[in-house]
Each structure stands twice: as C-alpha cells, then as structure tokens.
Structure 1
C-alpha cells in the first residue's frame, strides 16, 4: 500500500491515487520533453476529433489495412512506454475530488516534511511516476514537479499524501 497516495481534506470526494496504473493513462506526458517544449492546453474533444479524422482520412486514402508506417509507429510507442520517463498532471484529480469553495492551499506530505502551496500553483503540478520505464520505487511513488519547472532538478520526493486546506 505504500504506492497509494490519498488526496483528501476540503474536498467533496477523497481520492486514492495509484501511480502504478498511470502508464496506461492517455493523459501521461513525456518528462524528457514536457518542460522543454511550449505547449497549448487543448480540449480532449478537439484532440479526439482530430485523431479520428486523421484515422478516417488514412482509411479512405489507403484502405482499412494498416500500412507499414502505422505498424512501425505502434512498435515505437510500445518501446517508448518500456523505456520512457513519464508524468501526469494533477489537475484532473483535483477536478474529480471537487474542491470545496473555501479551499485555499494544497499540502504535500512526504516521509520527512510538508510543503504547502497555493491552489493556483497546485493546479499546474506534474506528478512524475516513471523513470527509464521503471516505477519510482526508491524515492516515490511520485515526484512532484512545479508547472514552471523551477524544481526540475530537485522535485519533491517520497510523497505520501495530498491534503487540500
């Protein structure tokens, strides 16, 4: 149970987070490129629509049989999952927990300390859960990175609990 993190406090629903299953989550991001590239926040519906449209166009042009390039892309994605370093934004979890109106901060409890940050800053946190294709067993289960990458070289480690205050 040491891989489980609880999100509780001034929330409508306390949430149990299990970083070991996030490798299968479509919201995961590549930590090696996330902070070095500029990114735009796009809606999930927009992304899905573009993806389906691209697939439909490919089927019309090339038929329903997958061309060799698509097979190569799938193989590359599988390899990337086995060797990559990934993180996931905390914002969807905060939304699912439904923060109460009087919530103002997030406390990150670790094995040895506590870090309190504003909710505005908390909404941009990224939770690193994989390094080199392996879960963060020694100093995990997650590393917390600030959205502005100010702690990129020294993330918050050994996280045990998130408390909304």
Structure 2
C-alpha cells in the first residue's frame, strides 16, 4: 500500500501528504471527542496563549522545578497519542497546494472509484489517519470523514489522490 497521497490537478504546487508523520502535528483532531463536543475548531493563537499562561501560572505557584504531576501529564499525553483516533483538517493542505482560480471541484480518487465535491466543501473534510493508535494499513492510508459526522461509521477509504478540476 502506498502511504503517500498527492494533491494534483489545477493547483500551483503538486504536494504529497504523508499521514505517517501527522501524529506529531499539533493540528491533529482527536476524533474520540470531536463529534461529542461538536465541530468547534480552536484558534491556534488562543490555544497557545492559554497554554503559555497556564505554564507561567504553574511556575509562579510551584517554582521552576517540575512537580510530579507534570510527569503524570506527560505520560498521559504520550498514552493518548499512542492509543488515540485522529484526523487532520484538509483545508491547510489544500491552501499549501494553492488551487488555481478556475479550480471548482475536488475529486477524491480511491480504489472503489471517484468522489466529487465542490471546492467550497473542502473545509468539511477531515483526513482520518489512525484508529486506536494504529495507522490504516489495510484500507488507508487515510479515510475521509465529514465534519458533521454523517459518514463517521462509513468513511471514504482507500484514498489514492486528490485531484482538482
């Protein structure tokens, strides 16, 4: 199975997606909580500011040494990453490919055929890349899941490429 998925067609830059490295990306979405909490996308700057503020408050209260709870938090985060079910938003990758002005639809090429969407619907697509800590080796490398969760039990599988037309 090929693990590289290109974005090609009417784009300024043909780019390739490698889902094997997404586990380290801060943009990943935990699908175990995403559909329960609603599709609330977080502002990255706001999240960063909150994290820095929390860290600063902890240093003021407890000093610069790391308390035992921080070790537990790091262990929990590592376990969550190793056992989680994750997806990435499609939009940032599409933006990096820079669709041409005359591109109007996204064709998802799979083993089972092609799926077509208006380019305006790109923000509704999530790229699932792991379930319970395991990559999609048999029917992957990625699954397409809609943000509204309408196909979360039956995502688009065996994705080979994204083609803009």
Distance 1:46 1:22 in 2: 22
Distance 2:33 2:79 in 1: 17
Structure 2 unaligned residues grouped into runs of 5+:
none
1:8 aligns with 2:5: no
- Deviation, 1:53, is 1.5
Aligned to 2:85: 85
Alignment TM-score, normalising by the size of structure 2: 0.94
Partner Cα distance (2:43, 2:100) in 1: 24
| Superposed displacement of residue 69, structure 1 | 1.7
Give the C-alpha shift of residue 39 in structure 1: 4.2
Q: What secondary structure is seen at the aligned counterpart in 2 of 1:35? A: helix
**Which range is displaced more, 89-98 or 38-47?**
38-47
Trace 1:69-148 onto structure 2 (pairs within 5 A): 69-148=69-148
- State the SS of the aligned residue for 2:124: coil
Match of 1:51 in 2: 51
How far off its partner does 1:42 sit? Answer: 3.4
Contiguous gaps of at least 5 residues in structure 1: none
Question: 1:34 is matched with which residue?
Answer: 34
Matched residues in 2 for 1:24 and 1:42: separation?
A: 18
| 2:37 partner SS | coil
Q: Do 2:39 and 2:148's aligned partners in 1 also have CA atoms closer than 8 Å?
A: no
CA distance in 1, matches of 2:60, 2:12: 47
Q: Is 1:162 paired with 2:162? A: yes
* Higher mean displacement: 44-53 or 134-143: 44-53
Distance 2:32 2:47 in 1: 22
- State the Cα distance separating 1:100 from its structure 2 match: 1.5
Which residue number in structure 1 is paired with residue 61 of structure 2? Answer: 61
CA distance in 2, matches of 1:27, 1:121: 19
Deviations along 1:50-77, whole A, 9 cap, x unmatched? 2111111111111111122221111001
TM (norm. structure 1) is 0.94
Q: CA deviation at 1:164?
A: 1.2
Alignment: residue pair count: 165
Given that 1:94 and 1:123 are in contact with CA atoms closer than 8 Å, whether structure 2 keeps it comes out as no
